[in-house]
Amino acid sequence: MSPISTRRHGEVLIVTSNNPPVNALGHAVREGLVRAMDEADGDDAVKAVVIICEGNTFFAGADITEFGKPMQMPMLPMVVDRIESCTKPVVAAIHGTAFGGGLEVALASHYRVAVPSAKLGVPEVKLGLLPGAGGTQRLPRIAGVQKALEMATSGNPIGAKEAYEIGLVDRLIEGDLEQHAVAYAAEVMDTRPLPKSSERDDKLHEARDNPAIFDEFRKANARKFRGFEAPESNIRAIEAAGRLPYSQGVMEERRLFMELMSGTQARAQQYFFFAERKASKIEGLAEDTRPRDIRRVGVIGAGTMGGGISMNFLSAGIPVTIVEMAEEALDRGTGTMRKNYEATAAKGRMTAAQVEQAMGLLRPTLDFGALADCDLIIEAVFENMDVKKDVFGRLDKIAKPGAILASNTSYLNIDEIAAATSRPEDVLGLHFFSPANVMKLLEVVRGAKTAPDVLLTAMQLAKKIRKVAVVAGVCFGFIGNRMLIPRQTQANKLLLEGATPEQIDRVHVEFGMPMGPFQMADLAGVDIGWHRDPNRIENIRDKLCAMGRWGQKKGAGFYDYDEKRRPSPSPVVAELIDEFRARAGVQSREVTDQEIVERTLYTMVNEAAKILEEGVAQRASDIDVVWVYGYGWPVYRGGPMFWADTEGLPEILGGLQRQQERLGPDFSLSDLLVRKAEAGEKFTR
């Protein structure tokens, strides 16, 4: 049965799409829409058309699962042209999200009405693409060039109210959408000529009168666009709208669209779209598993982590009890949370009332016993096994039966922590990333005895607090931090062999990472995890710590910093490296950028393969989600596993084998990597 059906309401033909879950514009939908337009044109009794969708949303875009497969006619650009060429006025009735191809359908319609909660956007750039069904040509004609540039290059939607203000929506509908859309259609049914967005050009003068608008936009956003191909193609296509007649503009759009579509970045970003959605799925979970109810969350520790973690729940409307040991620390912690909220409000992203609402849900206390009525308790205390065990032992005595007990540890063994309680089935790891109220990633660490419903609860709760959660197994550092270890080991060795911190960091930044390993150490604090004995100096880091060069916070670390925290290469560090090199009896040599890639990034892939092989990650794509959301791996490279597949696993293996001597005795190849490389297989499909 076609997902598109038509029925008559007086002289209005109502065209309804029912294609769950998001009314994606797959083949059958496209075909149905064309048929509906033919029906409208062929029937004199039809005076106007309403296009509307069932379910949660208007068309959320082209069907991404069809990408990369042979295209079936009619293609979306033809469909939208067919809608615009309908001889009867077509009204798009929008609710939910009119995204991508969905907005293009709306733009090709002669009129657009929307409920106030609707969102309109062109998120194609997030898939490495551009709105390729006339969107880059019609959007600037309707919404203006500057707005079109912003929407197309950010991919972020605008609300219906704003859309109405800028003329992208003709009427806001309060009440029943279909009923009002039909009434609107009846109002406009005699209007001629029909307003066609492809024929408008009043708003293009913005660009024709000021062609510099494009370069100014490029300059203002250069940092944001770094490394990505799609934003520039979006700009060029919109530029073409200003320069060329519509018919030629769409040809240029098509050319740029196909160019992007055949590139690696689009493949990587589309792969990542599905990777992110797959991450929330728990392998082997019995279908009748039900989550536990979480009405109140307890957080132990009001430091940076504890405060950030609490904010996630407060923002989602979930009350939090936060416990500290001393009044001063508690006040400082809650004060910081308030300050953070107020800063968000100052940027206009929250109202003052919302700040009060969130803070009103917080119950700060020095009484550990106050955690007794919490359904989930997250410990965010000092990273030390004895301390954690002590906390969990005490929790065991006061937490109510069925409460979930979670540790925010970044490295430690959850099973050992769970063993400090009489209820290890209720224990798991919730590894938030710093700053915890900002970073999207959450590693949910499943212990050997963690109950399935506890795991499910955590994964569902993550969605509620707008995190992307990934299931990880127990091992030192879980998925993300464990992969940092070989990278850091090799980066440190490379310093001794002749590379500089600047060179190693530059290679990572050019690769697309936000920063390299030494920049990251300086930002996080070189002293993190330091043994704190200034007389015990075994490596460069020990020495830096002993010298008080703890990174940005001290104005010195692997780099020197000025008062504005701008880094410069440090002669002191250069001397230190020479000293340690002499001590190790290593001869300095020239290290190539390629060697840095092989020794830091290839070794990460090798570690990831071990993580996969050991079942610490459920699937290769989960590792990619961790690295993109937790560490800023460039999404246009898909993540370390997808990237390894694009490089070719034989190439990765070959590189590691070439470097084997230099990688040191602690390095070993992953069996899975070797097997897959030899069999010509990939990690991701």
Number of residues lying near ligand 3H9 (CB under 6 A): 26
Which is closer to ligand 3H9, CB of 100 or CB of 480?
Answer: 100
**Which has the closest alpha carbon to 227: 514, 512, 635?**
512
> Considering the complex, what minimum distance in angstroms separates the CB of residue 234 from ligand 3H9?
11
Q: Which of 99, 164, 559, 633 binds ligand 3H9 (CB under 6 A)?
A: 99
> Considering the complex, what minimum distance in angstroms separates the CB of residue 77 from ligand 3H9?
6
> Considering the complex, what minimum distance in angstroms separates the CB of residue 130 from ligand 3H9?
7
Site stretch for ligand 3H9 (CB under 6 A), options 17-25, 312-320, 511-519, 637-645: 17-25
Q: Which of 3, 32, 101, 477 binds ligand 3H9 (CB under 6 A)?
A: 101
**Which has the closest alpha carbon to 478: 408, 532, 406?**
408
- Asked whether position 135 contacts ligand 3H9 by CB under 6 A, the answer is yes
- What is the spatial distance between Cα 340 and Cα 470, in angstroms, rounded to a whole number? 26
Which is closer to ligand 3H9, CB of 234 or CB of 490?
Answer: 234
- What x/- string results for residues 256 through 295 when contact with ligand 3H9 is judged by CB under 6 A? ------------------x--x------------------
Site stretch for ligand 3H9 (CB under 6 A), options 124-132, 142-150, 176-184, 439-447: 124-132
- Asked whether position 64 contacts ligand 3H9 by CB under 6 A, the answer is yes
Which is closer to ligand 3H9, CB of 22 or CB of 52?
Answer: 22
**Which has the closest alpha carbon to 480: 492, 463, 468?**
468
> Considering the complex, what minimum distance in angstroms separates the CB of residue 36 from ligand 3H9?
19
> Considering the complex, what minimum distance in angstroms separates the CB of residue 63 from ligand 3H9?
4
> Considering the complex, what minimum distance in angstroms separates the CB of residue 135 from ligand 3H9?
6
Give the bridge partners for 17, in sequence order: 4, 53
Q: Give the pair of three-digit tokens for residue 384.
A: 């030390």
**Which has the closest alpha carbon to 343: 435, 473, 254, 443?**
435
**Which has the closest alpha carbon to 157: 206, 240, 70, 94?**
94
Which is closer to ligand 3H9, CB of 97 or CB of 457?
Answer: 97
Q: How many CB atoms lie within 10 A of CB 85?
A: 14
- Asked whether position 100 contacts ligand 3H9 by CB under 6 A, the answer is yes
Segments of 526-587 assigned E as strands: 559-561, 567-569
Angle between helices 145-154 and 230-243 (to 10 degrees): 160
- Asked whether position 132 contacts ligand 3H9 by CB under 6 A, the answer is yes
Q: Which of 89, 131, 306, 638 binds ligand 3H9 (CB under 6 A)?
A: 131
What letters, b where the CB count within 10 A reaches 16 and e where it falls short, cover 131-146? bbbbbbbbbbbbbbbb
**Which has the closest alpha carbon to 539: 499, 570, 501, 583?**
583
Which is closer to ligand 3H9, CB of 104 or CB of 598?
Answer: 104
**Which has the closest alpha carbon to 586: 595, 594, 575, 577?**
577
> Considering the complex, what minimum distance in angstroms separates the CB of residue 612 from ligand 3H9?
21
Which is closer to ligand 3H9, CB of 122 or CB of 495?
Answer: 122
Q: Which of 3, 32, 123, 473 binds ligand 3H9 (CB under 6 A)?
A: 123
Residue 202 CB partners (closer than 8 Å, separation 6+)? none
Site stretch for ligand 3H9 (CB under 6 A), options 16-24, 208-216, 406-414, 628-636: 16-24
- Asked whether position 70 contacts ligand 3H9 by CB under 6 A, the answer is no
Residue 234 CB partners (closer than 8 Å, separation 6+)? 124, 125, 130, 131, 136, 149, 152, 153
Q: Give the pair of three-digit tokens for residue 494.
A: 């490379």
Catalytic residues: 104, 124
Q: Which of 3, 17, 49, 61 binds ligand 3H9 (CB under 6 A)?
A: 61
CB 24 within 8 A of CB 58: no
Peptide bond into 131 cis (omega under 30): no
- What is the spatial distance between Cα 543 and Cα 576, in angstroms, rounded to a whole number? 8
Which is closer to ligand 3H9, CB of 250 or CB of 491?
Answer: 250
Which is closer to ligand 3H9, CB of 99 or CB of 667?
Answer: 99
Alpha-carbon Rg for the chain in angstroms: 28
Site stretch for ligand 3H9 (CB under 6 A), options 126-134, 177-185, 475-483, 545-553: 126-134
> Considering the complex, what minimum distance in angstroms separates the CB of residue 664 from ligand 3H9?
42
- What is the spatial distance between Cα 59 and Cα 100, in angstroms, rounded to a whole number? 8
Q: Which of 16, 97, 233, 570 binds ligand 3H9 (CB under 6 A)?
A: 97
> Considering the complex, what minimum distance in angstroms separates the CB of residue 57 from ligand 3H9?
6
Phi, psi of 410 (to 5 degrees): -100, -15
Site stretch for ligand 3H9 (CB under 6 A), options 34-42, 129-137, 563-571, 623-631: 129-137
Phi, psi of 120 (to 5 degrees): -125, 130
> Considering the complex, what minimum distance in angstroms separates the CB of residue 112 from ligand 3H9?
17
Which is closer to ligand 3H9, CB of 258 or CB of 572?
Answer: 258
Site stretch for ligand 3H9 (CB under 6 A), options 132-140, 495-503, 625-633, 671-679: 132-140
> Considering the complex, what minimum distance in angstroms separates the CB of residue 272 from ligand 3H9?
12
Alpha helices per DSSP H over 113-245 = 135-143, 145-154, 160-165, 177-188, 205-208, 213-220, 222-225, 230-243
C-alpha 155: how far from its chain's center?
12
What sign does the dihedral 311-316-322-327 (CA atoms) show?
A: positive
Instruction: Enumerate residues 519-558 that contact ligand 3H9 by CB under 6 A.
Output: none
Peptide bond into 193 cis (omega under 30): yes
Which is closer to ligand 3H9, CB of 60 or CB of 115?
Answer: 60
> Considering the complex, what minimum distance in angstroms separates the CB of residue 274 from ligand 3H9?
6
One-letter amino acid for residue 210 of the chain? N
**Which has the closest alpha carbon to 34: 22, 18, 17, 19?**
17
CB 598 within 8 A of CB 655: yes
Q: Which of 124, 229, 595, 598 binds ligand 3H9 (CB under 6 A)?
A: 124
Which is closer to ligand 3H9, CB of 104 or CB of 324?
Answer: 104
- Asked whether position 63 contacts ligand 3H9 by CB under 6 A, the answer is yes
- Asked whether position 21 contacts ligand 3H9 by CB under 6 A, the answer is yes
Give the bridge partners for 9, in sequence order: 12
C-alpha 681: how far from its chain's center?
27
Which is closer to ligand 3H9, CB of 160 or CB of 182?
Answer: 160
Q: Which of 62, 80, 377, 458 binds ligand 3H9 (CB under 6 A)?
A: 62
Binding site for ligand 3H9 (CB under 6 A): 21-22, 24, 57, 60-65, 76, 97, 99-101, 104, 123-124, 127, 129, 131-133, 135, 274, 277
